[in-house]
């Protein structure tokens, strides 16, 4: 791939660029199994088998950004899930750089919205060692620069639709993300989830509002109170009970 060596990114990242892969998450897994270090990245122009959360397909034509980062933080498996929120903060900063005039918010657990429409997604995969300790995390990120799905379960958009009309190059967005993610990742490594949680809540979409949470087999409705100290969504159910959600799809009553 042309041009990737000219990106201005923090030295802690080691970038591998490809034209096409199945899924960048799978490419990073292969490198991880060969002992690759924290900060190893695979970026591809296209994916033939891109994956979304909850087993969905992430359609990946050329023009958008697709990459995965190998991370080996020294945290427990439970704490590792917080990286979703760390990624979202870096994503929001990067998206805001190119679309400063729009309302950029964060949807639990890790989507970035422009004026209420999804522009990026994060797929986290992890491996534990035989002692049950985290061995590595793979953080796969897709950002809609040029294309977006019209038939998605949620309203979606792209930077091109919202922005100036000129298409952003994937490398420009990758550079912006890595430079914005790096300080949040360092802060999280040093201080834990506390300040990340506060910064995420500050930009969160729909706190205090009525939401629906789709879980396998049921849909809950209630008020989105906050996220707890571990990142679980705290929902005041319409029935009056409280429920902490660790995985699910959020829909807003009004979007
Ligand atoms: C979501 O469902 O919102 C998460 C989408 C994650 C897509 C990215 S694109 C790069 C990486 N490789 C994949 O196969 N998926 C992630």
Q: Is 23 in the pocket of ligand 1 (CB under 6 A)?
A: yes
Q: How far is the CA of 22 from the centre of ligand 1 (A)?
A: 11
d(CA 52, CA 144) in angstroms, rounded, equals 13
Using the 8-state DSSP alphabet, how is residue 6 labeled? G
How much is the pLDDT for 154?
85
Gyration radius of the chain's alpha carbons: 18
How much is the pLDDT for 164?
58
Residues of the chain with CATH 2.30.30.100: 210-252
Residues 164-182 have pLDDT tens digits of 557 899 999 999 999 999 9
Pick from 16, 49, 52 the residue to mutate for probing ligand 1's pocket: most ligand atoms within 8 Å of its CB: 52
Task: Residue 54: count other Cβ atoms within 10 Å of its Cβ.
Answer: 11
How much is the pLDDT for 84?
94
How much of the chain is helix, strand and coil, in % rounded to 5?
A: 30, 35, 35
How much is the pLDDT for 131?
84
The whole model's pTM is what?
Answer: 0.95
Q: How far is the CA of 17 from the centre of ligand 1 (A)?
A: 17
Q: How far is the CA of 139 from the centre of ligand 1 (A)?
A: 9
Strand-pair category, 14-21 with 104-107? unpaired
Q: Classify 169 as helix, strand or coil.
A: coil
Residues of the chain with CATH 3.30.930.10: 4-202
d(CA 43, CA 8) in angstroms, rounded, equals 15
For the chain, list residues with pLDDT below 50: 2
The per-residue DSSP string of 41-55 comes to: EEEEEEESS-B-GGG
Residues 70-88 have pLDDT tens digits of 999 999 888 999 999 999 9
Atom 11 (ligand 1) nearest CA:
140
Residue range 210-252 forms a domain whose CATH class is mainly beta
d(CA 126, CA 108) in angstroms, rounded, equals 19
253: left (phi over 0), alpha (psi -120 to 50) or beta: alpha
Phi/psi of residue 241, each to 5°? -80, 165
Domain 4-202 has CATH 3.40.50.970: no
Burial class (CB in 10 A: 0-12, 13-18, 19+), 178: buried
Residues 22-55 have pLDDT tens digits of 999 999 999 999 999 999 999 999 999 999 998 8
């Amino acid at each position: 791939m042309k041009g990737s060596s000219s990106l201005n990114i923090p030295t802690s990242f080691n970038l591998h660029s490809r034209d096409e892969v199945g899924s960048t998450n799978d490419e990073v897994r292969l490198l991880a199994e060969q002992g690759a270090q924290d900060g190893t990245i695979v970026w591809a122009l296209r994916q033939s088998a891109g994956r979304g959360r909850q087993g969905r397909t992430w359609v990946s034509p050329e023009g958008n950004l697709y990459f995965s980062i190998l991370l080996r933080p020294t945290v427990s498996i439970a704490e590792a899930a917080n990286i979703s929120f760390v990624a979202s903060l870096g994503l929001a900063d990067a998206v805001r750089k190119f679309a400063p005039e729009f309302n950029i918010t964060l949807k639990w657990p890790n989507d970035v919205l422009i004026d209420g429409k999804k522009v990026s997604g994060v797929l986290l995969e992890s491996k534990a060692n035989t002692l049950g300790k985290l061995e590595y995390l793979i953080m796969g990120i897709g950002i809609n620069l040029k294309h977006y799905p019209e038939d998605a379960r949620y309203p979606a958009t792209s930077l091109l639709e919202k922005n100036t009309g000129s298409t952003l190059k994937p490398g420009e967005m990758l550079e912006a993300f890595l430079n914005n993610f790096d300080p949040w990742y360092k802060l999280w490594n040093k201080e834990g989830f506390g300040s990340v949680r506060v910064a995420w809540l500050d930009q969160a979409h729909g706190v205090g509002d009525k939401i629906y949470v789709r879980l396998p087999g049921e849909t809950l409705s209630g008020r989105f109170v906050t996220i707890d100290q571990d990142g679980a969504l705290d929902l005041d159910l319409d029935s009056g009970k409280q429920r902490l959600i660790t995985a699910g799809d959020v829909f807003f009553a009004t979007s």
